[in-house]
């Protein structure tokens, strides 16, 4: 028996963990179990009574150096794919904010990155995967074969079975570096104008000052760019800094966040700056700090990530930013992204519009604030990202996901409801 904590260090839950056994397929499952990768989900989607640890199921099975098609086991980390294939001129088509997640976890969350408006979700790079059901049966799932299981599993939070082997398409590159442009904006209107102007850029993201007031609401630093073509593919991971202990909770407060935001915004002196940066700095800035989640203290934190349809994004984001500023409970990590059209997966998060992700430490009044933000998200026809969530209600969740009943039907059809559960699945009743 162990004590389970997610990457957000909240909630904690007693659990048992057992390794995934290929020779005993159906015995991997127990009542109230969930596949477990590298534990980087922020909330309670990877928290259950019994964890099926698939991280050691982590071998590459084949790779075509001409086409970039990789077949791999689901416990392989994205970091391992990058370290192995970047020197050969291949990279992941879609990257989340951390490379320390498993391939299976990337599919279960149907993760997205700074290029969703161009490449879509992670599932768009997946040709097929094999899925182990509690019955012991293995189904090969793709857009053409067992389509309903494919659509339910991509974004299905591990609730449809254990993802085993995966065939995926990598992206051809000719450099380890990104040529990055940084644009400094004065308010939300200017931020939106820049995003609309740079829609053809392969990668784009913005840091936004969520505590700015009045005419400065929505002021941002927008970073965008693409891989260079300099032929430099020599890559050695750098040694990481480490946060050795949990910070005292009082260190993160309104004043410290305001000070950080002030300094971070002012570090860019020019309106437009161009520079060469490594892919780690561009895609995975927080990965350079081991155990950075300890900054929020022992009580932990939650990330609140929502998305609004494009036609509602400006007014909805402005209202949400004003609500956060009024509360004083700011986030120094506030990430704004533009998204392309949604896919056909039942529970995938992205839709055409803008999303904002904010980290809040667990403290008195934070859940009340997030409930207020939920009301605004629903008002503007948005949705909450399950991979980051730890508290959204069933009613709020359902309003954002029109295909929820299709997902529930799959769970019922394959007798998954009692065997595969998480604290999150019980909370939102999926």
Burial of 234 (0-12, 13-18, 19+ CB in 10 A): exposed
Q: Is residue 235 part of a domain?
A: yes
Alpha-carbon dihedral angle through residues 28, 33, 37, 43, given to the nearest 10 degrees: 180
CA 394, CA 371: separation in Å to the nearest integer?
Answer: 12
pLDDT tens readout for residues 30-60: 999 999 999 999 999 999 999 999 999 999 9
pLDDT at residue 1 is higher than 80: no
Residue-wise DSSP of 322-360:
HHHHHHT---S-EEEEEE----S-TT----SEEEEEEEE
Average pLDDT over residues 307-320: 98
Give Cβ neighbours of residue 45 (< 8 Å, ≥ 6 apart).
Answer: 6, 109, 157, 158, 386, 387, 389, 422, 424, 425
The predicted pLDDT at position 5 comes to 77
Domain of residue 241: give its range.
177-400
For position 182, which CATH number holds?
3.30.70.2520
Rounded to two decimals, the pTM is 0.97
| Number of domains present in the structure of the chain | 1
Q: Does the structure show a pLDDT above 80 at 21? A: yes
DSSP 286: G
Is position 26 within any domain? no
Residue with tokens 């009044």: 365
Q: pLDDT for 358-379, tens place per residue?
A: 999 999 999 999 999 999 999 9
Domain-located, residue 318: yes
Q: Per the domain annotation, does 42 fall within a domain? A: no
Q: Quick check: 296 and 177 in contact, CB under 8 A?
A: no
Domain assignment of residue 50, yes or no: no
**Cβ 361 vs Cβ 252: under 8 Å:** yes
């Amino acid at each position: 028996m162990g004590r389970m904590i997610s990457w957000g260090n909240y909630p904690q839950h007693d659990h048992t963990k057992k390794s995934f056994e290929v020779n005993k397929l159906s015995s991997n499952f127990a009542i109230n179990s969930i596949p477990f990768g590298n534990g980087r989900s922020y909330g309670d989607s990877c928290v259950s009574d019994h964890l099926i640890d698939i991280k050691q199921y982590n071998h590459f099975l084949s790779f075509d150096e001409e086409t970039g098609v990789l077949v791999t086991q689901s416990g392989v980390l994205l970091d391992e794919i990058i370290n192995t294939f970047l020197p050969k001129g291949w990279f992941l088509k879609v990257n989340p904010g951390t490379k320390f997640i498993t391939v299976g976890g990337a599919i279960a969350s149907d993760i997205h990155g700074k290029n969703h408006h161009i490449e879509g979700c992670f599932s768009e790079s997946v040709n097929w995967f094999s899925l182990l059901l509690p019955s012991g049966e293995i189904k090969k799932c793709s857009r053409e074969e067992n389509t309903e299981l494919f659509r339910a599993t991509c974004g299905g939070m591990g609730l449809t079975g254990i993802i085993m082997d995966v065939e995926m398409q990598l992206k051809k590159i000719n450099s380890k570096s990104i040529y990055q442009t940084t644009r400094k904006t004065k308010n939300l209107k200017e931020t939106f104008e820049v995003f609309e102007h740079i829609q053809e850029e392969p990668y784009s993201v913005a840091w936004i000052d969520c505590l700015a007031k009045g005419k400065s609401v929505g002021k941002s630093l927008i970073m965008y760019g693409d891989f260079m073509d300099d032929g430099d593919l020599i890559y050695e991971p750098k040694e990481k800094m480490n946060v050795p202990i949990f910070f005292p909770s009082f260190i993160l407060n309104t004043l410290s966040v305001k000070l950080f935001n002030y300094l971070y915004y002012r570090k860019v002196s020019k309106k437009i700056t161009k520079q060469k940066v490594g892919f780690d700095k561009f895609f995975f800035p927080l990965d350079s700090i081991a155990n950075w989640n300890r900054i929020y203290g022992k009580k932990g934190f939650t990330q609140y990530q929502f998305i609004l349809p494009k036609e509602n994004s400006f007014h909805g984001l402005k209202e949400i930013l004003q609500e956060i500023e009024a509360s004083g409970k700011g986030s120094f990590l506030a990430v704004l992204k533009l998204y392309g059209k949604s896919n056909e997966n039942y529970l995938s998060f992205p839709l055409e519009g803008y999303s904002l992700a904010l980290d809040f430490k667990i403290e008195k009044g934070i859940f009340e604030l997030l409930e207020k933000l939920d009301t605004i998200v629903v008002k503007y026809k948005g949705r909450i990202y399950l991979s980051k969530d730890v508290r959204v209600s069933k009613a709020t969740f359902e309003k954002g996901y029109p295909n929820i009943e299709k997902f529930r039907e799959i769970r019922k059809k394959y007798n998954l409801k009692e065997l595969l559960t998480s604290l999150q699945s019980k909370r939102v009743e999926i």
